[in-house]
Chain A
């Protein structure tokens, strides 16, 4: 029972708030370090691609942004399920904090994809399975934010948002497997556990950039969730004490 006790302790805003505050600088610093290393390898050291020339270098942000856009959604769906099952306060705060960053990652995935598609395919956009399902992901993020913003009662907004997130989660495997299930213009996965089609420096550059995007997303979501916590828990003793300690 000791484990459960600890879990609940960290799920309580009074414990989570200061912990998150201490962790943010570390995640932000890690994002900068991984980003610098990834850009160094990807933009300065990695050789050119024999098919796509230098245009392939868009991969160093396109793939990390696409991964994050899907992963953040999965994390939100996880919190949504916890929230609906156990009625935890933290769940709704977490999904609210993650949604804008997830939406931005989906936008960056589409934006860099369009800028990559134009020179390689000759078009900014096609309505193929991979691109369309990623666009739906962006709409799911925007829909979640609009829905929760439209409902005044916070707990009801959380519940409605959680339902939307759980219904929309079917879209994630569709995005992920779309290049296998359908015949699409989008290329297959570049990273394969058994045998990667990429040069070693390219692969490392991309993995470092992915780590950078991870750390960035964690740092920004923690920063956002702290503000949401303070706002929602403003009547709690710890929040009053926190506000009283802050300079006006």
Chain B
């Protein structure tokens, strides 16, 4: 069922290894880094918004007239 005879064959890709793995490697890299960046941005944004929320609450407590 599997087309390849050996792992070496598979990695060599009939001489096109550089081009095939260069394509799949960069794609894998992009699809790994993008979710990490999105998750980090989410964490940072939530932390910043929470700080703002607390600062707003303190400001309201200090000047009840506002």
Contacts and interface: CB of A to CB of B under 8 A. Distances in A.
A133 interface: no
Contact of B23 (A62, A239, A246): A62
A238 to B, nearest CB: 13
Given A48-B3, A57-B13, A244-B53, A119 B19 contact: yes
Contact of B24 (A55, A61, A220, A239): A61
B2 A45 contact: yes
Interface in A216-233: 216, 220, 223-224, 226-227, 230-231
A62 B47 CA distance: 38
A18 B37 CA distance: 21
A47 B22 CA distance: 20
A100 B33 CA distance: 12
B20 A58 contact: yes
Given A54-B14, A104-B34, A246-B46, A65 B27 contact: yes
Interface in B19-43: 19-20, 22-24, 26-27, 30-31, 34-35, 38-39, 41-42
Interface in A172-209: none
B31 A216 contact: yes
A65 B28 CA distance: 12
Contact of B1 (A45, A58, A234): A45
A85 interface: no
A112 interface: yes
A248 interface: yes
A223 B16 contact: no
A156 interface: no
A33 interface: no
Contacts of A118: 19
B14 A48 contact: yes
Contacts of A62: 23
Given A45-B1, A48-B3, A65-B27, A54 B20 contact: yes
Contacts of A9: none
Contacts of B13: 54-55, 57
B30 A58 contact: no
Given A58-B23, A223-B42, 11 more contacts: A54-B15, A101-B34, A112-B23, A112-B26, A115-B23, A118-B19, A223-B38, A223-B39, A227-B46, A231-B45, A240-B53
Interface of A: 43-48, 53-55, 57-58, 61-62, 65, 100-101, 104, 107-108, 111-112, 115-116, 118-119, 216, 220, 223-224, 226-227, 230-231, 234, 239-240, 243-244, 246, 248
